[in-house]
Structure 1
């Protein structure tokens, strides 16, 4: 599962949509559409990395397709997602709360593939007079690994974001 950092927010939006939370990537190339209900605007606010193992060595895995062992090198990462919620005036603060509850349950249950939820926080729901929308700031800290796969001889094949397995 190869992933660029630009794709990470798209994966989060896809995951939330699959869990019944209307979500779009913040700052889309296309124009904004007015929604009937609450929507989460997904952004990537921060990425912090740290050592994942000794000299960034994470271990080996067997690639059944090539029939060879591959070495894994990488870093543990913590991603801060902005999952800000917006709702039209007619939906009100109740639509924001309902969307937040769905989002919290979806992230607590399993979260997007390759990432594990560490923390979910939110602010108060406020009404933006200028935009005519209710708004609540939401942030999710998720942990995973950014790693590279090396085949025999030390050639790196690809960089991948992957999460920890749950126990």
Structure 2
């Protein structure tokens, strides 16, 4: 299964494409999309064009996207939500299924704890993919982590009938 992981941002959007082969992730492509320092509409347009090109080039079966976390700065969350919306619209236009994961779900799937630091995530993504990611942007490694999270979660979701990325409840 080919998975496109997205770490959305209005200035820098990370992407990672992996293939899951017998339960193990293999890196296909990774990087960042940098939007010019212009108004929001132009930045979102650039992200949209580049995401469409990525989808066309790599033909993923699914897109995995990090959910927006609303912390102290609501304006930042709203802007991030716009970039995330562009990614979702690109997937919808291409007929690609989308799964969404919280930051803690991604960290749990990759590192084993939902409170892992970004450096720990980068380190584990490197180990899982057999790559040295120290020179890669954190947005890129975060996107690879999102894709790996989906790769590990999707088989369980298929067996349980729950959507990938569903939050588990202890009720």
TM over 0.5: no
Asked which structure has the greater CA Rg, the reply is: 1
The structure with more strand, counted as a fraction of residues: 1
Higher relative contact order (CA 8 A, sep 6+): 2
Q: Which structure shows the higher helix fraction?
A: 2
- Taking structure 1 as the reference length, what is the TM-score of the superposition? 0.28
